[in-house]
Chains A and B, each alone.
Chain A
């Protein structure tokens, strides 16, 4: 099996094996990614995030089906991230349970991924797994984050369109005012909309958006990263739509698909898609560089020196800033 050639041909075993090699950092994986890189950048990337139990997996299942049934059907790749246990290093990856409808369709590829210690809601290998699916020709790629709270916002720097999934009864208006995950939404899905309080949740989100919109119009353009109120030269602003869905019955999913398409069209027409891609690439590069520098640097430090330094900090003989300085100066 030639992993590069076979991945480009869409061979599923090759795709799967290459993703494993990337996760395990098997020698050769980087070279394979380098060879695939010119073939990437074609897929449209959609992030799906939200608190545990809001129905992300079920919604992704429905979205994937909808794109397969589209009048011009698109192939769909799914990357579903679940947390690694900090104690054992193991993980239970259960997102496939809700994606069983996707079995048997050669136009869909689903991969579960454990975070392996990475924070921010994604795994370190997620960005590279996206490249593999992209190069293999999947046109829509959905990335489902771990059940996210308020700080797991990496997805906004990874996807073009980020859907934040809410469910009724999870929080009050104050939660909607807090920074973090609510700020990265390009689209809100209020799932389980048949439950009591769904309208209240929609209203709370709309009110938050009203405030953002007001402060935006009065102030200067907000940067991407606070994605709600995007503006560019011509003064266009994207206000995230709030879609009510009942994913288990597929209700509201056509609206959600339309919202994704509308956002994609907005990004293209406003020229913001290119800007997002640039920021996406820059963020990924920064992460990579930081990690490699760190590894390179740490590998030069003797374990005894490391242990001694930690001990000295524990004994309060030296503070962490000074200790870092000492290491950097090579003392």
Chain B
């Protein structure tokens, strides 16, 4: 058996057009040896979950800067669950106000990374979560 690659979907749900952060993270994950499926801007939760299914990813990373995270993230998480993908690790990056962090965690979002997070922290977090399985 060869090494099992960690497959990560990096997606930008919603309407904001700022994907620099998502691209930086995608690149860092690639450099850490992961396979990153990058789907680009303006993805609906349905598109994201469909891609997650077809690509059989271990991790879904959502980058949201629009402030719509309390609408978008629950929809992604619920759709993943409806499709039997509960085991997928969901991480969120972007601008998330402190008071929303516990709410997202309650939904099952394990990693929440705000501005200033080093990409190395994200890489290590994903590796640790994957290793714990």
Contact = CB atoms under 8 A, between A and B. Distances in A.
Interface string A225-258: 0000000000000000000000000000000000
A197 interface: no
Given A88-B32, A91-B36, A112 B55 contact: yes
Contact of A24 (B1, B53, B83): B1
Interface stretch (A10-18, A68-76, A200-208, A276-284): A10-18
B36 A93 contact: yes
B109 interface: no
Given A17-B56, A27-B1, A112-B55, A104 B39 contact: no
A92 B30 contact: yes
B15 interface: no
A52 interface: no
A16 B57 CA distance: 9
Contacts of A103: 44, 46-47, 50-51
Interface residues of B, number: 33
B40 interface: yes
A16 B85 CA distance: 12
A16 B56 contact: yes
B111 to A, nearest CB: 19
Given A27-B1, A91-B35, A103-B47, A12 B30 contact: no
A97 B27 contact: no
Contacts of B56: 13, 16-17, 19-20
A216 interface: no
B72 interface: no
Interface string A57-96: 0000000000000000000000000001101111111101
B122 interface: no
A12 B54 contact: yes
Contacts of A20: 7, 56
A112 B37 contact: yes
Interface string B6-33: 0100000000000000000011011111
A72 B86 CA distance: 37
B30 A94 contact: no
Contacts of A24: 1-5
B84 interface: yes
Interface string A188-209: 0000000000000000000000
Nearest to A112: B37
A103 B27 CA distance: 24
Contacts of A85: 30-31
A97 B38 contact: yes
Contacts of A110: 51, 54
A84 B3 CA distance: 14
Contacts of A91: 30, 35-36
B25 to A, nearest CB: 11
A25 B2 contact: yes
B38 A104 contact: no
A160 interface: no
Nearest to B56: A16
Nearest to B7: A20
Nearest to A17: B56
B127 to A, nearest CB: 12
**Which one of A17, A27, A96, A97 has the highest number of Cβ atoms from chain B below 10 Å of its Cβ?**
A96
Given A96-B40, A96-B51, A109-B54, A104 B46 contact: yes
A90 B4 contact: no
Interface string B63-74: 000000000000
A23 B5 CA distance: 9
A16 B32 contact: no
Contacts of B51: 96, 103, 110
A26 B47 contact: no
A111 interface: yes
Interface of A: 12-13, 15-17, 19-20, 23-27, 84-85, 87-94, 96-97, 100, 103-104, 109-112, 114, 116
